[in-house]
């Protein structure tokens, strides 16, 4: 009975019937407002903002004409080799001599200027007309220079443009110590290369061609390197000084090219 009497007295109390009811604290309203503003800003950025993107692709330092295979115009025994690997040979330089079936010595000369990459024959070896006896990196182009050649996937190549900046990591100069080479795209081939065309550009090196195509790249992209006479290498690096030595062609590289930004909203849209 005492419980019922207290409950009835509580209902009769006027000071409790007209008291205001606080549904949400002021601090909670501020939190909800901030959350709404954050969601609105996120939605606006998703529709109009962009995220920077890069594509990482393998490549090689080379000259514009690449590496060519040199074939013998003579049949006979190789009697002398006049050059060695890494030798620079002007056009017409004697490279080997061949003793033919009549015992006459024939001199074989370099058909173009370049740097010897590899010798595929030795003294005393029998060769015939058409035998590939050496590979030469050609340096006889009118605009000969050292450049970076990348092989990019067709999808990524479609988003690149001449003038796009590319940073290049050189295998012989670790980026952690010397930084990255600076360059810009100057040419993008219209059609993809076949595996054999890539190998031919490298003088028949199937292994190197496989490495360049391992990431699905087949479109040749030419990157001109930015020069800097203040560095020992002669090129501009992200590290001001770069490596304390010159860099050579036929060195494997990795290129990092900047692609156009991507809208986060596109991730949610089909296709």
Same domain, 210 and 225: yes
**Which among 138, 171, 190 is the end of a domain?**
138
Domain assignment of residue 21, yes or no = no
Same domain, 107 and 127: yes
CATH (domain of 202)? 2.40.30.170
Same domain, 242 and 165: yes
**Which among 108, 138, 168 is the end of a domain?**
138
**Which among 97, 123, 138 is the end of a domain?**
138
Judged on CB neighbours under 10 Å (0-12, 13-18, 19+), 155 is exposed
Same domain, 80 and 130: yes
The tens place of each residue's pLDDT in the chain, 271 residues long, gives 454 555 555 555 555 545 555 555 566 666 767 777 666 655 554 555 455 567 888 999 999 999 999 999 999 999 999 999 889 999 999 999 999 999 999 999 999 999 999 999 999 999 999 999 999 999 999 999 999 999 998 888 888 899 999 999 999 999 999 999 999 999 999 889 999 999 999 988 888 888 888 767 789 999 999 999 999 999 999 988 899 999 999 999 999 987 755 555 454 554 4
Same domain, 152 and 214: yes
Same domain, 167 and 238: yes
Same domain, 60 and 185: yes
Domain assignment of residue 27, yes or no = no
Considering the entire predicted model, what is its pTM? 0.72
Same domain, 94 and 194: no
- Written as six digits, the tokens of 102 are 């009549």
- Written as six digits, the tokens of 91 are 């056009």
Domain range for residue 80? 67-138
Give the DSSP letter string of the chain. Answer: -HHHHHHHHHHH-HHHHTPPP--S-HHHHHHHHHHHHHHHHHHHHHHH--EEEEEEEEEEEE-TT-EEEEE-S--EEEEEE---TT-EE-TT-EEEEEE-TTS-EEEEE-SS-EEEEEE---TT-EE-TT-EEEEEEE--STT---EEEEEE-HHHHTT--TT-EEEEEETTB-HHHH--EEEEEEEE-SSPPPHHHHHHHBTS-HHHHHHHTTTS--EEEEEEEPB-TTSSSSB-BSSSS--SS---TT-EEEEEEEEEEE-GGGGTS--
% the chain with pLDDT above 70: 76
Q: How many domains does the chain have?
A: 2
User: pLDDT digit string (tens) for 20-68?
Assistant: 555 555 666 667 677 776 666 555 545 554 555 678 889 999 999 999 9
Same domain, 179 and 224: yes
The set of residues, in sequence order, having a beta carbon less than 8 Å from that of 202 and lying 6+ positions away, is 60, 66, 67, 208, 209, 212
């Amino acid at each position: 009975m005492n419980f019922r009497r207290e409950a009835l007295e509580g209902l009769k109390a006027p000071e409790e019937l007209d008291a205001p009811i606080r549904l949400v604290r002021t601090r909670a309203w501020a939190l909800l407002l901030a959350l709404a503003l954050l969601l609105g800003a996120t939605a606006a950025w998703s529709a109009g903002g962009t995220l920077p993107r890069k594509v990482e692709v393998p490549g090689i330092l080379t000259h514009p004409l690449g590496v060519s295979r040199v074939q013998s115009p003579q049949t006979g025994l190789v009697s002398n080799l006049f050059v060695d690997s890494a030798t620079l040979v002007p056009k017409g330089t004697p490279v080997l001599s061949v003793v033919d079936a009549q015992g006459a010595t024939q001199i074989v000369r370099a058909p173009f200027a370049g740097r010897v990459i590899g010798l595929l024959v030795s003294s005393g070896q029998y060769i015939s007309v058409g035998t590939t006896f050496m590979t030469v990196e050609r340096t006889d182009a009118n605009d000969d220079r050292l450049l970076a050649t990348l092989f990019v996937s067709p999808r990524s190549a479609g988003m690149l443009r001449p003038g796009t900046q590319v940073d290049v990591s050189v295998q012989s100069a670790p980026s952690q110590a010397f930084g990255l080479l600076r360059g810009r795209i100057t040419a993008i081939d219209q059609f993809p290369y076949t595996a054999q065309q890539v190998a031919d550009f490298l003088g028949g090196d199937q292994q190197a061609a496989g490495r360049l195509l391992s990431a699905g790249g087949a479109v040749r992209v030419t990157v001109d390197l930015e020069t800097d006479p203040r560095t020992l290498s002669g090129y501009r690096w992200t590290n001001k000084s770069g490596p304390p030595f010159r860099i050579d062609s036929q060195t494997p590289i990795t290129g990092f090219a900047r692609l156009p930004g991507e809208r986060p909203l596109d991730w949610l849209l089909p296709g």
